[in-house]
């Protein structure tokens, strides 16, 4: 089950469509869905988690805690909507497209994709782009 939680004033307008898209992505990658919690928050909230759990004193757009066992995907994905908005401006894209990219990015990590090397990052971006085209217009 996919759930959306909010630690800021932001809310998704289209939870049902986004949830369906995420579920279809998980299935297409050969995995099964268990409990996946998205938490939308601000920079301060995510920064605190980054310092406390990852010992990184930096701002980031997403932190995921992966509890996947075998092919059963489960985890908590925290997304800073402030960072997403700033990144959208930096990458000259819409907030919605950047948000959707970050949402699916976390799931792709759970499916085993990495982004630490240039080659891994290229493959991750290809997968993101592929699944972004599968999101039904809302």
Q: Which parts are annotated binding residues for Zn(2+)?
A: 105, 109, 115
Distance (Å, rounded) from C-alpha 121 to C-alpha 33?
Answer: 24
| Residue 36: closest CA among 67, 5, 74 | 74
Nearest C-alpha neighbor of 138 from the set 19, 1, 49: 19
Q: Which residues are annotated as a binding site?
A: 105, 109, 115
Q: Are 5 and 44 in contact (CB under 8 A)?
A: no
């Amino acid at each position: 089950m996919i759930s959306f939680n909010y630690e800021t004033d932001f809310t998704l307008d289209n939870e049902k469509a986004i949830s369906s898209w995420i579920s279809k992505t998980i299935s297409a990658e050969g995995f099964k869905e268990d409990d996946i919690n998205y938490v939308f928050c601000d920079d301060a909230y995510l920064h605190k988690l980054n310092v406390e759990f990852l010992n990184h004193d930096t701002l980031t757009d997403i932190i995921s805690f992966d509890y996947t066992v075998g092919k059963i995907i489960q985890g908590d994905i925290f997304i800073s909507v402030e960072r997403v908005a700033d990144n959208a401006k930096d990458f000259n894209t819409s907030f919605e497209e950047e948000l959707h990219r970050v949402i699916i990015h976390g799931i792709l990590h759970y499916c085993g994709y990495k982004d630490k090397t240039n080659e891994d990052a290229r493959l991750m971006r290809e997968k993101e782009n592929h699944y972004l085209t599968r999101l039904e217009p809302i």
